[in-house]
């Protein structure tokens, strides 16, 4: 199968039309008096009548490439509306003007200071939000920057969504394959001072894993300072007595023209509590199960990242990074369970649960990049090895006050060890600035061992229950190959299309009864993008992509976990992947963006309840059915006045779900509104206002009742801008909570949970930064399994 995939990729390249890869052009590179490339310089070819015949903007490397017919022209270069250079040229063949040095450095600097800074730009199918030109450029962490960026939504738990899908989050092209908690901690450890821009790709592309069902968000960092730099920060949050959140972090970078060393450490200590209640109603038997109580949660996490990047010359780059994350989490809950039969109380118990989760994750990444030419063509290799280790212990004590059931004291110990490795080879070839193609292969392997021990306390001794030991192993291998082609023609049209092929092999083996579950399938994931530039900041685009979501390894384990005598959680080794087909049409007008999208999902993976004859609820993920999403969104981001920056998002969606065999059908229209406003009072003092409102929405058979949140922050720069202090008030009206209801024919389940979301926090930071710049480097990794462990 692997050889077939490689063969398909070869033929895609071999039969690419030659006329698409050859263009007559005039090209060159623009630098200033210090040989530093000048980005976004306007390069114009004027005809004999002094009319504009063709034009281009120089890229980040100062490079430009203009395709035009033969003739006599005047080459003119402007920057931010200021004339800088002019030369008469005769074009009768492909021309390379080489380095064009402009001796107007001081003039350029003055113009850049006075000009209005660009907030957005577009590159093929990416919308780029330039953070360093926005009020978000300092005083925020990475998660807060995403939360306040256009099109992106971040919920109170740190979950990130893009067009109602879960996107892949990258740093400088390096995919962050971490769990939800690890990703939130990682992004919170970043500083907006180090972020250059956010690249938003709303529809997936073949270069990325097909599991990117929600598009791609790439955070591009600024260039590292030459010599030594450091940024230290701290966070103290108060929720109520005995419940606080602390965070300390430090980033150190030391580099030269040939190498960079970097180290980042971050520690978080978060205490929380909440109340929870649920009601399960079984209509045909008039049974009602009510569960109500509280929980106390503690979470301590330390994250360490060390890396080195070497670039001995302009063509070669080597990098190694080591990452380690250690988390210790405890949850103690105290709940009352009351069971009614025709409104008569028949059973009553007190359920205590003491849970401890210890998780260690480490990985080492190696990457090598060869720059083939001055057009930006590259060959890249990435190797990645790592391990994820989880120890989970849950002690459940049940005492009955009414009914004929016996008291019990049970202990569940679940351990999981996963070893994984990845290798990836990518080739990107730019035949000109307007045409490029890329191809590559990737292999990802993981071996996960899972054990579960169930014991009961008999007297003073823990004894293994009958069938109380379970041992299950998951092995998965994903081999992928892809090809993409990008082109621009007639200055206005942009086209990108490609194909990704992935072969997935999964084997689950039960070491107790020797039963085996095997899946082996190959999928094709096409994508297409077309954009048309009307000029005057008007742009329209159409895109399509197909993606896959594989079951998590936790869902695939066949283990059964007891939460009380009437509620169990169970794995499903027979889960199949779900597939999505997404279409997006967008229209941009300066700071405004309008879009319409459709997303069709088959074999939706979703948790669902089933009932036994004894009225015991079994909670298990299933391939539940199909869903359809139709949405419209509007985004505005920019300066309304000199002192007010606004980021506004409004979206509405129609959702439709059909379960298998049309047993259950649901639909609902919902909307979301995000508002971020930055009010600049002085050069060093500003106020942030952030609010989000979710209306009631539908997810398969679950109705969520929505929520509203309002945060306000005041921040002040101190010590000649080297220090910053910020006072934040979160969830001012204390309105954030989880509330939903699910209906399964003759069974209904209602759920409510309220955490300590209202809080006050003090944030501070101090930075030491050298003004000299060197290369923008960090080690890149592309392992997709960490977020599924």
Between CA 669 and CA 667 the distance in angstroms is 7
Are 293 and 333 in contact by the 8 Å Cβ rule? The answer is yes
Distance CA 716, CA 686 (A): 7
| Segments in 132-209 forming alpha helices (H) | 142-147, 180-189
Burial of 341 (0-12, 13-18, 19+ CB in 10 A): middle
Q: Model confidence over 426-471: pLDDT tens digits?
A: 999 988 778 889 999 999 999 999 999 999 999 889 999 888 898 9
DSSP state of 773: B
CA distance 341 to 345: 6
pLDDT 10s digits, 50-89: 777 777 888 777 888 888 888 888 888 887 666 778 888 8
Choose the weakest-confidence range: 91-100, 152-161, 246-255: 152-161
Q: Structure tokens of 54?
A: 């063709």
Has residue 750 got a pLDDT over 90? yes
Question: Model confidence over 689-729: pLDDT tens digits?
Answer: 999 999 999 888 889 999 999 999 999 989 988 888 999 99
pLDDT single digits (tens) 339-380 = 999 899 999 999 999 999 999 999 898 989 998 887 788 999
pLDDT in tens, 645-695: 898 999 999 999 998 876 788 899 999 998 989 899 998 899 999 999 999
2-115 topology per CATH: Immunoglobulin-like (2.60.40)
pLDDT at 583: 92
Per residue in 104-142, pLDDT tens? 543 443 333 334 567 777 777 778 888 888 888 777 777
Percent of the chain's residues with pLDDT above 70 = 88
Architecture of domain 122-788: Beta Barrel (2.40)
Phi, psi (deg, nearest 5) at residue 22: -130, 125
Q: Is the pLDDT of residue 15 over 50?
A: no
Q: Identify the residue with better confidence: 409 or 535.
A: 409
Is 225's pLDDT higher than 70? Answer: no
b/e for 726-759, b at 16 or more Cβ within 10 A? bebebbeeeebbbebbbbeeebbbbbbebbbbbb
Task: Spell out the domain ranges in the chain.
Answer: 2-115, 122-788
- Which residues are paired to 169 by β-bridges? 217
Contact 225, 775 (CB under 8 A): no
Candidates 691, 783, 773, 670; CA nearest to 260 is 773
């Amino acid at each position: 199968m692997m050889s077939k995939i490689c063969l398909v990729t070869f033929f895609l390249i071999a039969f690419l039309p030659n006329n698409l890869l050859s263009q007559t052009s005039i090209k060159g590179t623009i630098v200033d008096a210090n040989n530093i490339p000048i980005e976004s310089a306007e390069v114009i070819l004027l005809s004999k009548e002094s009319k504009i015949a063709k034009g281009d903007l120089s890229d980040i490397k100062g490079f430009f490439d203009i395709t035009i017919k033969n003739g006599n022209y005047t080459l003119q270069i402007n920057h931010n509306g200021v004339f800088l250079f002019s030369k008469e040229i005769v074009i009768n063949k492909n021309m390379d003007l080489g380095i064009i040095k402009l001796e107007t450095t001081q003039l350029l600097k003055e113009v850049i200071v006075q000009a209005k800074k660009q907030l957005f730009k577009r590159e093929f199918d990416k919308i780029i939000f330039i953070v360093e030109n926005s009020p978000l450029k300092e005083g925020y962490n990475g998660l807060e920057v995403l939360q306040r960026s256009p099109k992106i939504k971040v919920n109170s738990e740190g979950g990130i969504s893009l067009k109602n899908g879960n996107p892949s989050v990258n740093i400088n092209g390096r995919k962050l394959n971490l769990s939800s908690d690890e990703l939130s901690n990682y992004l919170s450890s970043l500083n907006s001072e180090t972020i250059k821009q956010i690249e938003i790709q709303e529809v997936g592309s073949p270069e990325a894993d097909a599991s990117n069902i929600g598009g791609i968000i790439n955070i591009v960092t600024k260039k590292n300072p030459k010599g030594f730099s450091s940024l230290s920060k701290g966070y103290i949050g108060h929720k109520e007595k005995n419940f606080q959140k602390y965070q300390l972090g430090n980033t150190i970078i030391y580099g030269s023209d040939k190498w960079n060393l970097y180290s980042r450490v971050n520690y978080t200590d978060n205490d929380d509590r909440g109340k929870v209640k649920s009601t399960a109603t079984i209509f045909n038997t008039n049974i009602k199960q009510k569960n109500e109580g509280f929980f106390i949660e503690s979470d301590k996490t330390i994250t360490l990242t060390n890396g080195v990047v070497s670039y001995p010359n302009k063509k070669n780059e080597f990098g190694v990074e080591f990452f380690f994350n250690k988390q210790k989490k405890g949850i103690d809950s105290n709940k009352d369970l009351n069971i009614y039969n025709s409104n008569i109380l028949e059973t009553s118990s007190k359920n205590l649960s003491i849970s401890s989760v210890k998780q260690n994750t480490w990985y080492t990444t190696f990457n090598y990049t060869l720059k083939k030419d001055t057009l930006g063509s590259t060959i890249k290799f990435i190797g990645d090895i790592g391990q994820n280790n989880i120890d989970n212990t849950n002690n459940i004590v049940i005492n009955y006050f009414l009914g004929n059931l016996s008291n019990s004291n049970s202990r569940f110990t679940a351990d999981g060890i996963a070893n994984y490795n990845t290798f990836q080879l990518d080739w990107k070839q730019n035949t000109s600035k307007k045409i490029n193609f890329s191809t590559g292969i990737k292999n990802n392997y993981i071996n996960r061992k899972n054990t579960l021990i169930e014991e009961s306390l008999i007297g003073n001794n823990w004894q293994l229950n009958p069938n109380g030991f379970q041992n299950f192993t998951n092995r998965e291998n994903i081999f992928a190959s892809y090809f993409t082609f990008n082109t621009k023609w007639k200055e206005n049209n942009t086209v990108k299309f490609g194909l990704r092929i992935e072969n997935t092999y999964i084997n689950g083996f039960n070491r107790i009864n020797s039963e085996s579950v095997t899946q082996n399938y190959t999928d094709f994931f096409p994508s297409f993008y077309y954009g048309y530039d009307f000029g005057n900041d008007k742009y329209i685009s159409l895109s399509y992509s197909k993606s896959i979501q594989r079951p998590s390894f936790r869902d695939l384990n066949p283990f059964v976990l007891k939460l009380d005598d009437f509620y169990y959680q169970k794995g499903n080794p027979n889960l199949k992947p779900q597939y999505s087909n997404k279409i997006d049409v967008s229209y941009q007008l300066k700071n405004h963006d309008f879009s319409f999208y459709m997303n069709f999902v088959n074999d939706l993976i979703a948790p669902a309840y089933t009932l036994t004859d004894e009225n015991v609820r079994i909670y298990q993920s299933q391939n539940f059915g199909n869903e359809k999403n139709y949405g419209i969104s509007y985004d505005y981001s920019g300066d309304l006045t000199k002192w007010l920056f606004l980021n506004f998002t409004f979206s509405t969606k129609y959702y439709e779900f059909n379960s298998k065999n049309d047993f259950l059908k649901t639909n609902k229209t919902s909307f979301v509104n995000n508002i971020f406003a930055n009010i600049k009072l002085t050069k060093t003092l500003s106020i942030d206002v952030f609010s989000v409102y979710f209306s009631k929405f539908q997810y398969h058979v679950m109705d969520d009742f929505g929520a509203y949140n309002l945060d306000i922050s005041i921040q002040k720069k101190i010590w000649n801008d080297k220090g910053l202090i910020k006072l934040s008030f979160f969830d001012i009206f204390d309105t954030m909570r989880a509330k939903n209801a699910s209906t399964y024919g003759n069974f209904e389940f209602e759920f409510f949970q309220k955490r300590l979301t209202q809080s006050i926090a003090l944030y501070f930071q101090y930075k030491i930064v050298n003004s000299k710049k060197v290369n923008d480097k960090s080690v890149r990794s592309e392992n997709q399994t960490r977020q599924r462990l």
